[in-house]
Amino acid sequence: MSLYSAEEKKLINFFIKFSGYLVPPYVDNTNLTGISKTMFFYLLGKQQFHFIYNLEKSLYPMRTALELLLNTVKERGDILIISDSAPLKGFFKYDPYIKCTGWKRVELSNSKNYDLILLVDTVEESLVEVHRKISLIVGVGATTTSRMSYPFNLNIEKPVLAAWFYQAITTSCLRGYELRKKTNELES
């Protein structure tokens, strides 16, 4: 008996297979039905963001969020994680660059102060508020001198995927810390 269902295996294998790329140029395996290419709209600047909220159908935003998280941690960017997850709050408790807080409208009004915003387990009604308060950016990782906010809603209902993604967040941050340390050593 397998620990993962066939659908969960397909999603996790898809993520791992392409994890070296921010967004793969194409997906040639037609067996990956149910996984949309919604990130291409995001990268092309078409504002169809409502398609990226169901991450069990699209893993592109998840991988992009992890890549942005790693790079933002590496560059000492300010990160806001809106979540009620006790493990996430505990992990980021002592990091001065990462603030992990529960859902508060006041935090959204200060969203321009953050380089990256991750919304974890945000209810659908709150997403409307997010769209009102946060100006959505066209293009991921565009070079600019202004501060940017990248809203991603990471709703993962299946426990195995939620646990796996929590590990992916912490691993991305740890890799970012290592890269930051190497950069500091090279500069000194």
Report DSSP letters for 139-168, one per residue.
SSS---SS----EEEEB--SHHHHHHHHHH
pLDDT of residue 79: 81
Residue identified by tokens 């991305």 is: 172
Distances (CA, A) of 51 to 35, 46, 166, 171: 11, 11, 22, 26
pLDDT tens-place string over residues 122-176: 555 555 555 555 543 322 333 333 344 444 444 455 565 666 667 777 888 888 8
Class level of CATH domain 40-181: alpha beta
pLDDT at 140: 30
User: What is residue 88's three-state secondary structure?
Assistant: helix
d(C-alpha 154, C-alpha 119), whole Å:
6
The backbone region for 171, taken as left when phi is positive above 0, alpha when psi lies in -120 to 50, beta otherwise, is: alpha
Give the Cα separation of 155 and 173 in Å (integer).
19
Each residue of 33-75: pLDDT tens digit?
333 344 333 333 333 333 333 433 445 556 666 777 788 888 8
DSSP state of 104: -
